[in-house]
């Protein structure tokens, strides 16, 4: 929680955009999610691969990594998913997309809501036309 508050307070500063800080926060989120899921007895692969997937698909590209390093990270991620679900069973492998899918769906819905609120339709309804 402390890192989340600190990250929020550093918004619009150089520290907020520092790649080392970004990777530290993202790695800590993955570790935190995994440990909480393990301690509470919940489905740890969903949380591990969900937050790791968010990093691999979105955050990794904001870091100064070479193309080879990005391919290595993708390969490790996919290899780890295959290894865990080969042992655990493939019937629950769909859970890998739950965390990332929820986060991206909420982002898309909020963006749509903001666009709707700023639309001409809403301006006509509220009588605030330019």
Q: What is the pTM of this model?
A: 0.74
Q: CB count, 10 Å around CB of 68?
A: 8
d(CA 118, CA 130): 12
Would you report the helix, strand and coil content of the chain in percent, each value rounded to 5? 85, 0, 15
d(CA 55, CA 73): 10
Give the tens place of pLDDT for each residue, 48-71: 999 999 889 988 888 888 999 999
Q: Which two tokens stand for residue 25?
A: 């926060």
| Torsion of the alpha carbons at 92, 95, 96 and 98, rounded to the nearest 10 | 170
- pLDDT digits 0-9 by tens, 93-130: 888 999 989 999 999 999 999 998 888 777 777 776 55
Provide the number of structural domains found in the chain.
Answer: 1
* pLDDT recorded at residue 129: 58
Alpha carbon separation from 100 to 19, 50, 54, 67 (Å, rounded): 21, 5, 6, 23
Q: What pLDDT is attached to residue 128?
A: 65
The answer to whether 96 and 47 are in contact (CB under 8 A) is no
> What are the tens digits of pLDDT across the range 68-101?
999 999 999 999 999 999 998 898 888 899 998 9
Q: What is the DSSP letter of 119?
A: S
List the domain range (segments joined by +) for residue 24.
2-126
């Amino acid at each position: 929680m402390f890192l989340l508050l600190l990250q929020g307070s550093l918004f619009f500063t150089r520290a907020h955009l520092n790649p080392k800080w970004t990777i530290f926060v993202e790695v800590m989120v993955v570790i935190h999610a995994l440990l909480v899921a393990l301690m509470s007895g919940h489905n740890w692969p969903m949380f591990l691969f969900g937050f790791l997937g968010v990093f691999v698909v979105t955050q990794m590209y904001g870091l100064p990594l070479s193309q080879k390093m990005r391919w290595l990270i993708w390969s490790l991620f996919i290899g780890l998913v295959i290894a865990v679900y080969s042992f655990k069973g493939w019937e629950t492998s769909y859970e890998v997309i739950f965390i990332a899918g929820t986060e991206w769906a909420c982002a898309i819905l909020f963006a749509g809501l903001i666009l709707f609120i700023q639309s001409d339709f809403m301006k006509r309804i509220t009588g605030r036309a330019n």
